[in-house]
Amino acid sequence: MTGLPIAIVGASAAGLAAAEALRRSGWTGPLTLIGDEPHLPYDRPPLSKQLLHGQWEPERLLLRTEEQLAPLALDLRLGTRATGLDAATRTVTLDGGMGVPPLERGRERERLACAGVIVATGVAARTLPGADRTAGVHTLRTLDDALALRARLTGTGHRLVIVGNGVLGCEAAAVARELGHDVTLVGVDPIPMAAAVGPEVGELLAEEHRARGVRLLTGVVDSFEADAEGVVTGVRLADGGTPGNGGVVAGGGGGTLLPADTVLLAIGSTPAVGWLADPALDTSDGLRCDAYCAAAPGIYAAGDVARWDHPVHGRPLRFEHRMNASEQGMAAARNLLAELATEGVAGAAPQERRPFAPVPYFWSDQYTVKVQAYGPTAGADRVETTVLDRDRRRTVALFGRAGQAVGVLATGLPPRQVRALRAVIATPVAWEEARERIAAATATG
């Protein structure tokens, strides 16, 4: 192959989907896939579920094997960090690198001129001061993170404190309890996952966690306690934290002390845009893109890092969910090729650019409860929840914004009913109409 490559920065679900879509859509030029982890592209949702539980091993998370990647004819740069992007010249700066296999030399500080670039770098886990100096304090974003936490939780009876009661924290709490560990879940919000699922569904999930033996506390972490070897022994909350059962109220300075031999920080994430210093790119809350996923001429973005103009909802959105990563990777690839074709770039087949207008979807598995949602549920100004069967954790919730229904969420419902709910909010609809359609969809089954 000759000519400049298309470079995809980020070798997870969005990046892989983009690479495959480029080839399917007719790109015959060089194609470079760059990932900062040493692993082949893998699926992230099982990290906090099946992998952490020990039900799956890392090989099962692979999205493609080496043999399955071979037809894509990739220049695969794993263990390689992108450190800069010049938007005007479409040049990516790389730091270090390894092939699959062997380790390749001579790629330190390489500048890679490209025909086009797709940014799919995802997000990075947030952390807290002192965490990097305290053994036994973990984050959970990468495969290596999950394996390290799983190794730490070998056996039973560990005292695990999870800081952050969003989706990740709740999923990890469920797995840890099923493994027989003592679990305390601490969050700033008194209701777990309330920002994503609403207060009533969040309280229902809280009931399930309490019934399974998880201690739920409200508070802010002040510091970590450690022994002489620097291994964590506890989490100290700021003054005003609720001690609850198992917390020790400190005397003479500081707040509640939660004994712990393992700590998981699940306090959210930040878009991985630190390497994008070009002022031509807007990196406020992700890489800002138009409705076609374009951040600048020849520069596109996909997945957790992309904040794009959703043409249906009429505002910029960013979704950190698996389904969106794959769908947006494909959309960005097709739209980039369409642009390159108009520029006369060899290897780019002519096609039409199309706005990316998905119906957002996310799911979460906690114990036997499956949560599924369509549409942007976060940031709703109105939430109406119907509890269909409290004992079986069966609920449906409608989310509204500016007088229209924009999202719907269900727990414990059969697949047929969940699919019917998607159709209700595929586009924003009047609130009363959505209420009637949801009532009809959940009336039986």
- The string of pLDDT tens digits covering residues 129-145 is 999 999 999 999 999 99
Report the candidate in 95, 110, 39, 40 with the shortest Cα–Cα distance to residue 72. Answer: 40
Strand partners, 394: 389
- Checking if the pLDDT of 246 tops 60, the result is no
* 40 token code pair: 């082949």
Report the candidate in 307, 336, 302 with the shortest Cα–Cα distance to residue 322. Answer: 302
SS3 call for 157: coil
Output the pLDDT for position 248: 39
Q: Report in angstroms the alpha-carbon separations of 340 from 188, 298, 299, 325, 443.
A: 47, 7, 11, 22, 50
CB-side neighbour CA atoms (13 Å) of 259: 8
- Checking if the pLDDT of 247 tops 50, the result is no
Report the candidate in 122, 165, 155 with the shortest Cα–Cα distance to residue 325. Answer: 122
- Checking if the pLDDT of 427 tops 80, the result is yes
Answer for the pair 11, 323: CB distance below 8 angstroms, yes or no. Answer: no
Q: Residues 6 or more apart from 97 whose CB is under 8 A from it?
A: 77, 78, 79, 80, 104, 107, 108, 110
Peptide linkage before 102 cis (omega within 30 of 0): yes
Read off the amino acid at residue 410: A
Written as one string, the DSSP assignment of 17-37 is HHHHHHHHTT--S-EEEEESS
Strand 74-78 and strand 287-289: the pairing is unpaired
Across the range 417-425, mean pLDDT stands at 90
**How far is the C-alpha of 396 from the C-alpha of 46, rounded, in Å?**
25
Answer for the pair 177, 207: CB distance below 8 angstroms, yes or no. Answer: no
Strand 382-389 and strand 31-35: the pairing is unpaired
Segment 14-70, tens digit of pLDDT:
999 999 999 999 999 999 999 999 999 999 999 999 999 999 999 999 999 999 999
Confidence of residue 239 (pLDDT cuts 50, 70, 90): confident
Please report, rounded to a whole number, the percentage of residues in the chain having pLDDT higher than 70. 93
**How far is the C-alpha of 173 from the C-alpha of 366, rounded, in Å?**
8
Answer for the pair 270, 123: CB distance below 8 angstroms, yes or no. Answer: yes
Q: Provide the terminal-to-terminal Cα distance of the chain, rounded to the nearest Å.
A: 56
Strand partners, 429: 405
If 0-12 CB within 10 Å is exposed, 13-18 middle and 19+ buried, where does residue 95 land? middle
Output 435 or 2, whichever has higher pLDDT. Answer: 435
CA torsion, points 134, 139, 142, 145, in degrees to nearest 10?
A: 40
* 332 token code pair: 């960005």
Read off the amino acid at residue 83: T
Q: Rounded to the nearest 5°, which phi and psi values hold at 343?
A: -85, -5
- Checking if the pLDDT of 260 tops 80, the result is yes
Any idea which of 234-248, 266-280, 322-336, 401-415 has the lowest mean pLDDT? 234-248
- Checking if the pLDDT of 197 tops 60, the result is yes
